[in-house]
Structure 1
Amino acid sequence: MTNENMGVQSMVLGDVEVIRVVEWHKPFLPASGMFPGAGAGVWKANEDWLAPDHWEPESDMVVLALQSWVLRSGGRTVLVDTGAGNGRERPGMGPFHHSQGDFLGLLASAGVRPRDVDIVVNTHLHVDHVGWNTVDMDGHCAPTFPHAAYLIPAADDFHYGPDNAYGNGVREVDRLIYEDSIAPVHRAGQAVLWDGLHRIDEHLTLESAPGHTPGSSVLRLVSGSDRAVFVGDLLHSPVQILDPCCNSNACLAPEQAVASRRRILGRAADERELLVPAHFGGTGALEVRRESDGFALGPWATAGPVKSASARASDEGGVSSPIPPAGTRPASPR
């Protein structure tokens, strides 16, 4: 997938429709810079399936997707992460500085208007997960989704908020991110802080998984026999499945990040949860397997077109899934 064919795709897990919204998919950072603990050999040894969706061999660049997920669950619309936003001051943040995209247009193509969103989940408070929390309204930032409760990890809100000097004042950009994308949500009375576990509905539960940031979290989906876990930035590349000790350069507490990664990967393997990271290319989601004392890639999910509102309304007993049951999905290229 490239900038020319970004868009939306859909799959269904139990009674929950899962819509993937992709703003872009492209080379992001050199592998050695983004994953300093991963040797060059792991990329070359797995080039046959890492390229082109996850790694560009010619430039040694990690390929990432900027994407969000929309879940239709229990009659409500849940938006998981909100991308980078448009026209934001993000000095030193590469493609996120003054970025321009069509996130709201992509949501509209999936049949989602801002007023339709009931819940926004910020898995953590990094630049590319909160940007569309707000939009400019007459020179002031206001919540993009006027009727939504914004579920924000309390530990991240403290760390990046004014009480902890916007991330201890290490980066000026953290203050900018908080002030334009988080503080307006608080002022509007739409912020809901949580810690530990937070149940959204009968299918969806938020769970703390700290390390990448103090409040990094995952969202678990359980519906019928289907399982999934939306892991945010617990993983940026499938290389981290092969080597869970490999952190990204943005993990604030490396040892804690490794522990969270091992725990979530282990449960995903044992309970056959579909693993849904924030930035994977390809189809964006896959199963994992235990292998010796580590993990291996399982089958990748497949996705289809988003159902129209009339088609969803005509379904009886839930939406018919366009993906095969767990364990029968097409195997990942190896």
Structure 2
Amino acid sequence: MSTTAPHVNPHTGAPAWTVGDLTVRRIDEVQMPQQTGPWLLPGATPEIVDQVPWLQPDFADEQRVLRLASHSFAVEVDGLRVLVDTGIGNGKQRANPAWDHLNSDYLARLTAAGFAPETVDLVILTHLHTDHVGWNTRADGGSWAPTFPNARYVTTRTEWDYWAGVDMDEARRQMFRDSVHPIWEAGLLDLVDVPFGTTGSRGHALDIAPGVRLRPTPGHTPGQVAVELSSRGESALITGDCIHHPVQLVHPDLGSCVDIDPAAATRTRQELLSSLVDTRTLLLGSHFPPPTAGHVIPEGGAYRLVPASTQRVR
């Protein structure tokens, strides 16, 4: 097993998993710097990580610091070409030094995987955080233009309404100006009404396309969703940020420093994991480093991720 996230040449194909008739591709953007783990999940100390041997070497480094990554997932479902989340984006002013004016080969990887920007039909935004919306747009002279001009971009009305009603700091306002407002102004952003239920409740999933469902996972943000894919009796679930890292399978109460409602985030994780345990549903982590995907099994009163094998597809 590799001790580092592999560099993927855009010409060698994207890592992928088969779910029934579907092929789910991981489109890599960047590996997060080492300091990301201690900042994002401060409760995941080296002592905690040391108690979970299966996290090393892939999910934690030799210093017992968590590994995290930024990527999207791309899949064709019933002729519809779908992209889940769009990463950090290139050339954008960001408060986080690791994300500021990023220059990655994400679009080359996406195109090499067979999803050239103009061919994407649906972009699902699990929530409106900086590292999930960045490639919504790309530089076009002195402005920001939709990267996927023929796509329907989708997020939940609950998510949109939350951010519309809070006093955002300048860094977040900048992100909305360059990565969210341009797709809204272009008429490409659709707000969907996912039934979230009462406060802190997951509610019920919403079918958004054949074989694609949005599953409410509130807590990290009020309107966040996970994305369920299904085909021929098989299924996969893309986490968004309801689970940032596999260490949270062992400690579901271990929250992120940017969770808006930590208690709801914990409840969501616990409910989600209990629903997946010992099923054949493939869990695809939106920030899990390679091997990224696996199945949830019970272990020691909590859970473990058993990695699934990948293939390389063009």
2:27 corresponds, among 8, 12, 21, to 21
Of 130, 133, 151, which aligns to 1:130? 133
Mapped contact 1:6–1:24 kept (Cα < 8 A): no
Q: Of 37, 46, 68, which residue of structure 1 is paired with 2:43?
A: 37
Letter in 2 for 1:142: A
CA distance in 2, matches of 1:192, 1:258: 28
Partners of 1:276 and 1:306 lie apart in 2 by 17
| Contact 1:210/1:256 (<8 A) preserved | yes
Unmatched runs of 5 consecutive residues or more in structure 2: 195-204
> For the Cα contact (< 8 Å) 1:9–1:306, is it kept in 2?
yes
Residue matched to 1:111: 114
Structure 1: 4+ residue segments shifted above 6 A: none
Paired position in structure 1 for 2:84: 80
From the two aligned structures, give the one with the greater helix fraction: 1
Q: Give SS of 2:266's match.
A: helix
TM-score when normalising by structure 1: 0.84
Long gaps (5+) in structure 1? 308-334
The 3 A distance-change label for structure 1 pair 198 and 189 is farther
1:254 and 2:259 are equivalent in the alignment: no
Q: Does 1:304 align with 2:311?
A: yes
Q: Does 1:90 align with 2:94?
A: yes
- What percentage of aligned pairs have identical amino acids? 34
CA apart distance, 1:112: 1.3
- Kindly tell me: are residues 264 and 6 of structure 1, through their superposed partners in 2, closer, same or farther at Cα, counting changes over 3 Å? farther
Q: Are residues 182 and 51 of structure 1, via their aligned partners in 2, closer, same or farther at CA, if it must alter by over 3 Å? A: same
- Count of residues in Structure 1 that have an aligned counterpart in Structure 2: 298
User: CA RMSD, aligned part only?
Assistant: 1.9
Which amino acid counterpart does residue 41 of structure 1 have in structure 2?
Answer: E
Given that 1:195 and 1:208 are in contact with CA atoms closer than 8 Å, whether structure 2 keeps it comes out as: no
Structure 2 counterpart of 1:177: 175
Matched, 1:193 2:199: no
- Alignment map for 1:1-334 (pairs within 5 Å): 1-2=4-5, 4-5=7-8, 8-29=14-35, 31-46=37-52, 48-58=53-63, 60-91=64-95, 93-160=96-163, 163-164=164-165, 167-169=166-168, 171-196=169-194, 197-269=205-277, 271-291=279-299, 293-297=301-305, 299-307=306-314
What CA distance in whole angstroms lies between the structure 2 residues aligned with 1:37 and 1:14? 37
Task: State the Cα distance separating 1:64 from its structure 2 match.
Answer: 0.8
Q: What is the CA–CA distance in structure 2 between the aligned matches of 1:204 and 1:86, rounded to whole Å?
A: 28
Aligned-partner residue type, residue 246 of structure 2 = P
Amino acid at match of 1:55: A
Q: 1:292: how far off?
A: 5.8
Shift in Å at residue 270 of structure 1? 5.1
Q: Which amino acid aligns with 2:172?
A: D
Residue 222 of structure 1 and its aligned partner are, at CA, apart by 1.7
- Describe the superposition over 1:97-121 as per-residue Cα deviations: whole angstroms up to 9, x where unpaired: 1111111101111011111000001
CA contact (8 A) 2:5 2:289 kept: no
**Is the Cα–Cα contact under 8 Å of residues 27 and 55 in structure 1 kept in the other structure?**
no
Secondary structure at the residue paired with 1:229? strand
User: In structure 2, the residue corresponding to 1:263 is in which secondary structure?
Assistant: helix
* SS of 1:185 mapped into structure 2: helix
CA distance in 2, matches of 1:219, 1:180: 25
